[in-house]
Chains A and B, each alone.
Chain A
C-alpha cells in the first residue's frame, strides 16, 4: 500500500499540533523481527526427532538430528521393522540437502510472460496465497460456467484430497500415473482375486525367489531390499529373468538373460510343467482356487519347447526352474511396478495374470514366505470423517478414453500414455468436449512417454496451475505456481502400505516450513473455499487425529514411543477372496463377464528389432534417483552426471562404438538422443539400456539441467485408438513404457 507524501503529511500534522513532521525512512515497524515472543517463530537449535522418509513409498522410519537450527544428519530408526529396518538409503539421507535448496519454490508465483514453451522465461512474480487461490478459482469457475466441470483437468495423485477436489468439481478428468506404474497388476489381481494389488512380500521366510525383471534391491527401496538380503542370508535361492543384469540379478544364484517381453511364454510353460507333472500344492489349490481344469487344458499349448523358441531360454532350464519353484517351499514371485509384469509391454497384463496363477499353484498367496495384502489398522475414511453430498457427475466420458475400458473405469484411474493426444483433441476439436484449464500436482512432464507432446498440449490450455517443490519442467508452463511443503518440514502420521505385513503407523515431526509453502490438503481447501465450495473442505489435521484415535494412539503416544507404532505379529493367511466364487479364479469370471480372455494367454509384445530399429530399449533407474525428483542434488548428480547407453561389446564393435564415446539413439518417435557409450556384457547383444532420471530442461534446476537425456523422448505415446486396438487383451490400458525398439549409430 502506497501512502502518498501529502496524505502522510496531513495525518502527521493532525496528530502533532502544528509541528511539521516529515515522513522518515525509519517510520514503521520492523518487518523481519518481532519483539514479543507471541508474534515470533521460535528457532529450535538442537533437537533429535523421529520422522518418516517421504522420498519414496518405502516410507522408512528415520531419526533426524537438528543442530544449530539445521538438519545435520538423517539415519534409520531401528524401531521400524517394515521399512528401512534401522537404515536410511542414499536418497533418504540426501533429503536434508533438498529441503535447504535455495532454488526451491518458496512463495506462490504468477507468470507474467503470456508466451509458453521450453525456452520461454515465465517472468515470475511473487504473489500472495489469496491472490493465487482467487485466480485459480476464477479460472475454474469461468470454465465450469461456460463449458461444464469436465473442462477442468486434474493431473494429480490418486489420493484422498485429490479425489475430494475431483468430486467437488465434478469432472471425470482425473488423470494420474497408474498406467505407467501399476494398473496392469492392479487389474490382474482384481480379475483373479477380487482384491487390489498386494504390496507385501514375506521375503525373509521365502526359500526360493523368482524375479521377472523385479529389481527393488537395485532401486535401494529398503522395504524390499532389507528382507531380500535377509532371505539370501537365510539361504533362499534367487533366480532372475532379465535381459539386463540388474543389481538383483547380480546378487542372484542364476541370471537368465531372457529376450525382452517374452517372460509370459516362460511363465505359461512353467504352469504347464507344474500342472502336467502334478507338482502343484494340492491342498491350497483345492481349498482356495477354482478353474484348475480349464487352466490345465489351456496351457497344454504352451510347452517348454515352444517357450524356448519364443524366449531363447532353453526348455530344460524352464522345466528345471518350474520343478525347483514348486518343490522348494515357500517360493515367491515378487513384483513391483516397472518390471515385465508391470506396464512395460503390450503383453504385461497377461504376464501379471500368469504370475498370479503360478503363485497360486505353489500356494504362495497369503501364506508364510509369500505375497500378502497390506495389513492396515482400521481407521475412518475421509468421507466418514467429513460426510458431504457430492454433485452428480453428469459427463462420464474422459479425454484419456478410460471410460471405453470397463475394467480400467472400475479402478477409476487415469492415463499418462494418451493424455497428450486426448488433451490436444479436446482443446483443438472440442472432442469429446472443450477443455480449457488444468491443475497439476507434482507430476513431471519427463515421466510421460514422449514428453514433448505433453508440453505441446499443456501450452494449448488457457490456464495451468502447478504445485511442486522445485521449479521443474511442468512448472515452467504454469500460469500460477504453488510451493508444496517438503516432507522434512511436515508434521503428521503415516499409515504404512508397502510391506505392511502387520499394521504400522509412523510419525512425522518435521522442522516446520522454511518459507511460505502449503501442503496439498491446504491447497485443495484453499481452492475449494475460493471457488465457493467451502462445504467440501476437510480438516485434514483433524482427520489425522481422529484416525490415530481410531487406532488407539496419538501424536503424543508416537512421540514418546520412538515415532513408531506397530502391531507386530506374523500375518495369518487371509484366504477369503472377493471373486464371485470367493476363491482365486484361474479362470476369471470377471474377465469373462467383461468380454476379455479369462485365462492367461500368450500375446506378443508390440515392437521387435527390425532393420530400421535393430535394438530393444531397456530402461532402468539408479539406486540414487527417484524418477526425476533428485536431479537437482549436486552430490547425487556427481555419482553419475549423465545416463549412459549400455551396449554389448559385440554390438559396439559392429557399430564402431568405443567406451567413453557417444552414440545417437533414435526411435519411431522421430527423436534422437545423444548418449555417452558404456560397453558392458550386462545387456544382451540385441538390447541397449539406459537410466531414467536425466534430461531435465527446466532452466531453473541449477544442477540437473543439461545433464544427460530423457529416454522418455524415445518412447511413443499412444492414442485412444491404439489403446482400443489392444483392448481385447489389455483391459488395463498399460502404457507399454519399454515396448519400443531403437537404432544406434556412432556420434
Chain B
C-alpha cells in the first residue's frame, strides 16, 4: 500500500486523521531509521498541516520532539538513546517493571496480563476488516503501534471509495467507530499518560502528550459525527 500523493491531497480531513494515526503508530514502534525520517522537512510539514486541518491548537509537542532529535546528537546516538528509552518503557525495564506495557489488556483487564479479553476484541475487529497479524510483527495484537496503524488503515480504506454508499466503506466506517469508541479510547489515554509521566526522554514525553491530545479530540468528535463520516 504505497501512497505517494501530492501534498495538496492532504487537505482532506480523513487523510489528515490517517496521517496523524500513522505518524503515532510509527512513533510507538521500535525506533529505527524510519522513525527518524518522520522528522524530515516534508513529513513534518505534512504532519503539521494535517494537525492544523483537524482544527487542533498550535501544538508545541512536535517541534519539541523533533528539535530534541535534531539538536541533541548524531543520528546514531539519537537512535541509541531512543532505543534505550523505548526498551525501558515498553519491553524490559529497570527498575521494577516495564514502565508502560503497550498492550490494552494490561490497562483494561485484571492482573496485569497480556492477551486479555480486550486483546481478543481487537483481534476480532482486525479479522473483520480483512487483516491478519503480520508474521514478522512478533507481537501481541493489541500493541499500541498495531492499533494506531489499524486506525489509519480503516480511514484510508474508506477514502479509497469516493462513493460513500459502497458497502466496503460503510463496513470500514462501522468497524472504525466500534474500534475507536469501544476499545482504543478506553485505554490509549491511560497508556499515553503513563508514558508522559514516566518517560525520561523529551521525545516520548512529548509524543505521548500529543497522542493524548489527539485521542481526546477523537473522543470528542466520535459521537457527534456518527462515525466520522
Contact check: which of A2, A41, A122 meets B75 at CB < 8 Å? A2
A506 to chain B, nearest CB (A): 25
Chain B CB within 8 A of A92 CB:
no
Chain A CB within 8 A of B41 CB:
yes
Chain A CB within 8 A of B56 CB:
no
Q: Is the CB of A40 within 8 A of B134?
A: yes
Q: Is the CB of B97 within 8 A of A12?
A: no
B128 to chain A, nearest CB (A): 12
Question: Within the assembled complex, what's the spacing in Å between the Cα atoms of A543 and B164?
Answer: 57
Question: Within the assembled complex, what's the spacing in Å between the Cα atoms of A622 and B19?
Answer: 54
Most chain B CB atoms below 10 A, which of A33, A68, A121, A122: A33
CB-defined contacts of A97 to chain B, threshold 8 Å:
111, 113
**A87-101 interface mask toward B, CB cutoff 8 Å, 1 = contact, 0 = none?**
000000000010011
Q: Is the CB of A69 within 8 A of B37?
A: no
Chain A CB within 8 A of B114 CB:
yes
Task: Give the residues from 35 to 51 in chain A that come closer than 8 angstroms, CB to CB, to chain B.
Answer: 35, 37, 39-43, 45
Q: Is the CB of B141 within 8 A of A16?
A: no
Q: Is the CB of B139 within 8 A of A515?
A: yes
Task: Give the residues from 53 to 112 in chain B that come closer than 8 angstroms, CB to CB, to chain A.
Answer: 75, 80, 83-84, 86-88, 91-98, 101, 103, 106, 111-112
CB-defined contacts of B145 to chain A, threshold 8 Å:
31-32
Binds A, one of B118-126, B206-214, B216-224: B118-126
**A512-542 interface mask toward B, CB cutoff 8 Å, 1 = contact, 0 = none?**
0111100000000000000000000000000
Task: Give the residues from 94 to 114 in chain A that come closer than 8 angstroms, CB to CB, to chain B.
Answer: 97, 100-103, 105-107, 109, 112
Q: Is the CB of B114 within 8 A of A109?
A: no
A482 to chain B, nearest CB (A): 12
**B139-156 interface mask toward A, CB cutoff 8 Å, 1 = contact, 0 = none?**
111010110011011001
Q: Is the CB of A123 within 8 A of B156?
A: no
Q: Is the CB of A105 within 8 A of B132?
A: no
Most chain B CB atoms below 10 A, which of A5, A28, A45, A102: A102
Contact check: which of B43, B47, B134 meets A32 at CB < 8 Å? B134
CB-defined contacts of A476 to chain B, threshold 8 Å:
94
Q: Is the CB of A69 within 8 A of B3?
A: no
Q: Is the CB of B91 within 8 A of A30?
A: no
CB-defined contacts of A16 to chain B, threshold 8 Å:
4
Contact check: which of B2, B10, B101 meets A102 at CB < 8 Å? B101
Closest to B33 in A: A2
Binds A, one of B23-31, B168-176, B184-192: B23-31
Q: With A28-B34, A37-B132, A121-B95 in contact, do A20 and B123 touch (Cβ < 8 Å)? A: no
CB-defined contacts of A107 to chain B, threshold 8 Å:
91, 138
B37 to chain A, nearest CB (A): 6
B207 to chain A, nearest CB (A): 14
CB-defined contacts of A68 to chain B, threshold 8 Å:
117, 120
Q: With A30-B134, A107-B91, A700-B93 in contact, do A5 and B40 touch (Cβ < 8 Å)? A: yes
Please count how many residues in chain A sit with their CB below 8 Å of the partner chain's CB atoms. 63
Question: Within the assembled complex, what's the spacing in Å between the Cα atoms of A102 and B113?
Answer: 6
Question: Within the assembled complex, what's the spacing in Å between the Cα atoms of A125 and B87?
Answer: 6
Q: Is the CB of B119 within 8 A of A70?
A: yes
Contact check: which of A26, A69, A102, A516 meets B19 at CB < 8 Å? A26
CB-defined contacts of A106 to chain B, threshold 8 Å:
91-92, 138-139
CB-defined contacts of A124 to chain B, threshold 8 Å:
84, 87-88, 91-92, 94
Q: Is the CB of B133 within 8 A of A126?
A: no
CB-defined contacts of B1 to chain A, threshold 8 Å:
28-30
Most chain B CB atoms below 10 A, which of A24, A31, A121, A124: A24
Question: Within the assembled complex, what's the spacing in Å between the Cα atoms of A555 and B187?
Answer: 41
Question: Within the assembled complex, what's the spacing in Å between the Cα atoms of A658 and B122?
Answer: 54
Q: With A69-B119, A109-B87 in contact, do A33 and B98 touch (Cβ < 8 Å)? A: no
**A248-290 interface mask toward B, CB cutoff 8 Å, 1 = contact, 0 = none?**
0000000000000000000000000000000000000000000
Question: Within the assembled complex, what's the spacing in Å between the Cα atoms of A102 and B152?
Answer: 26
Q: Is the CB of A22 within 8 A of B6?
A: yes
Question: Within the assembled complex, what's the spacing in Å between the Cα atoms of A97 and B22?
Answer: 33
A68 to chain B, nearest CB (A): 4
CB-defined contacts of B106 to chain A, threshold 8 Å:
102
Closest to B23 in A: A25
Q: Is the CB of B43 within 8 A of A33?
A: no
Question: Within the assembled complex, what's the spacing in Å between the Cα atoms of A41 and B146?
Answer: 14
Closest to B152 in A: A26
Closest to B106 in A: A102
Contact check: which of A24, A29, A514 meets B115 at CB < 8 Å? A514
Closest to B35 in A: A2
Q: Is the CB of A24 within 8 A of B3?
A: yes
Q: Is the CB of A25 within 8 A of B26?
A: yes
Q: Is the CB of B139 within 8 A of A121?
A: no
Q: With A69-B119, A100-B113, A124-B84 in contact, do A31 and B137 touch (Cβ < 8 Å)? A: yes
Q: Is the CB of B153 within 8 A of A30?
A: yes
Question: Within the assembled complex, what's the spacing in Å between the Cα atoms of A121 and B95?
Answer: 7
Q: With A102-B114, A471-B92, A699-B94 in contact, do A27 and B137 touch (Cβ < 8 Å)? A: no
Q: Is the CB of A32 within 8 A of B139?
A: yes
Contact check: which of A27, A32, A635 meets B146 at CB < 8 Å? A32
CB-defined contacts of A121 to chain B, threshold 8 Å:
94-95
Closest to B149 in A: A32
Chain B CB within 8 A of A1 CB:
yes
Task: Give the residues from 338 to 358 in chain A that come closer than 8 angstroms, CB to CB, to chain B.
Answer: none
Task: Give the residues from 181 to 203 in chain B that come closer than 8 angstroms, CB to CB, to chain A.
Answer: none
Q: Is the CB of B123 within 8 A of A43?
A: yes
CB-defined contacts of A705 to chain B, threshold 8 Å:
95-96
CB-defined contacts of B26 to chain A, threshold 8 Å:
25
Question: Within the assembled complex, what's the spacing in Å between the Cα atoms of A124 and B94?
Answer: 9
Chain A CB within 8 A of B166 CB:
no
Closest to B101 in A: A102
Chain B CB within 8 A of A17 CB:
no
Closest to A120 in B: B94
Question: Within the assembled complex, what's the spacing in Å between the Cα atoms of A113 and B84?
Answer: 10
Chain B CB within 8 A of A3 CB:
yes
Most chain A CB atoms below 10 A, which of B46, B86, B91, B114: B91
Closest to B127 in A: A43
Chain B CB within 8 A of A56 CB:
no
Contact check: which of B46, B111, B116 meets A70 at CB < 8 Å? B116
Chain A CB within 8 A of B180 CB:
no
CB-defined contacts of A3 to chain B, threshold 8 Å:
33, 37
Question: Within the assembled complex, what's the spacing in Å between the Cα atoms of A1 and B4?
Answer: 19
Chain B CB within 8 A of A702 CB:
yes
A126 to chain B, nearest CB (A): 5
Chain B CB within 8 A of A23 CB:
yes
Q: With A23-B40, A27-B3 in contact, do A103 and B97 touch (Cβ < 8 Å)? A: yes
Q: Is the CB of B84 within 8 A of A30?
A: no
Chain B CB within 8 A of A393 CB:
no
Closest to A125 in B: B83
CB-defined contacts of B162 to chain A, threshold 8 Å:
none
CB-defined contacts of B225 to chain A, threshold 8 Å:
none
Q: Is the CB of B36 within 8 A of A2?
A: yes
Chain B CB within 8 A of A34 CB:
yes
Closest to A483 in B: B92
CB-defined contacts of B46 to chain A, threshold 8 Å:
22, 24-25
B71 to chain A, nearest CB (A): 18
Chain B CB within 8 A of A634 CB:
yes
CB-defined contacts of A40 to chain B, threshold 8 Å:
131-135
- With A5-B40, A21-B6, A22-B6 known, 17 other A-B pairs at CB within 8 A are A5-B41, A21-B5, A25-B19, A27-B3, A28-B1, A33-B126, A33-B137, A35-B132, A70-B116, A121-B95, A124-B87, A125-B84, A126-B30, A481-B92, A634-B111, A700-B96, A702-B112
Interface residues of chain A, those whose CB is within 8 Å of chain B, are 1-5, 12, 16, 19-35, 37, 39-43, 45, 68-70, 97, 100-103, 105-107, 109, 112, 121-126, 471, 476, 481, 513-516, 634-635, 699-700, 702, 705
Chosen A-B contacts, 8 in total, with CB atoms closer than 8 Å, are A20-B6, A24-B5, A35-B132, A39-B134, A105-B92, A106-B92, A515-B139, A702-B112
9 closest Cβ pairs, A-B complex: A40-B132, A2-B33, A699-B95, A32-B146, A68-B120, A702-B97, A516-B138, A102-B101, A125-B83
